[in-house]
Structure 1
């Protein structure tokens, strides 16, 4: 329906693509998790409690695993506007239907939505509906028990982790059967 609207009513041209968008906060505070130990031995790990953080904005396409990530210092309308503009420029030859949550920065009145992007809001308080949440989980699992000394070192770890997450890896993470079936029926 949104693809038909974009082409017929808005008169947009280009390939119609479906993306999922979200942001995540990644900080210097240690991400803990399971550790393998011998039976009966309580796992131990060094932790740090620094509260400096950065935000990673991203979009992923469940059908192909194509993605775009960008780092910002804050989560606000200004940063989201810059991100939308970067995404619109990166995928200039496509019409993007973008699923996202109902965060205040996504619904701000002063937000200028680029012409090749159509926002599709998911129901409130339902992050499990957005497949990119699984990408954040995968990213953070790779950062468990890391102890970066500053934000620059954390950024380097994030970049290394994103390079490992190739298009096929992302497609395997976000390519839920129900979404792929719906997209095949929608014939985007």
Structure 2
């Protein structure tokens, strides 16, 4: 309960900061994004399948520990997305992601809802002028709709074998384009 009250109080202060930024700067547009990252790898994701009674489902399986991290920001307003693939997650890569995302549409103010991952700490970090970060409370992943997008993508690649990370990344790019439409 205390976390919730603290979050709501912080939310009011953050939105006031955002209002001040909008009055100071001349952005051509403002957009809301939900940001998250997910690990995707070559190990086959298994899931349940429907079969006739008495028939056991047979699926191929690949056991591999090669994976990439997919960083994504998704707008529920316009349907736009911005994604970046990396080999790991860390604060330096988060900063690079923010810089790249800032350059994606430099005249747009991006209000980004982020989770409280350790590498999202913005202490000693210069955040680009057109990005405003709004963290959700810790341990509330259900407040971030980007989690649903990752689950949808992982369901689409389940029970399929990808031989290389490049092949998997190509499939993920196709799914992102599909999600935008």
TM > 0.5 fold call: yes
Aligned runs of 1:1-188 on 2, under 5 Å?
1-2=15-16, 3-8=18-23, 11-14=24-27, 15-165=29-179, 167-168=180-181
Segments of 5+ residues of structure 1 without an aligned counterpart are 169-188
Aligned residues: 165
Whole-angstrom CA distance in 1 between matches of 2:126 and 2:59: 46
Give the drift of 1:92. Answer: 0.7
TM-score (norm 2): 0.85
Quick one: distance in 2 between partners of 1:112 and 1:42?
A: 55
Task: Map Cα deviations across residues 122-175 of structure 1 (whole Å, 9 max, x no partner).
Answer: 01011110011111111111101111122122222222322322x24xxxxxxx
Shift of 1:108: 4.5
- How far residue 34 of structure 1 moved from its aligned partner, in angstroms, is 2.1
Aligned equivalents of 2:177, 2:31: Cα separation in 1: 23
Deviations 1:15-35 (A, max 9, x none): 222111000000111111122
- Are the counterparts in 2 of residues 13 and 95 from structure 1 also a CA contact under 8 Å? no
Q: What do you get for the CA RMSD once the two structures are aligned? A: 1.5
| Unpaired runs of at least 5, structure 2 | 1-14
Please report how far the alpha carbon of residue 42 of structure 1 lies from its aligned counterpart in structure 2 after TM superposition: 2.6
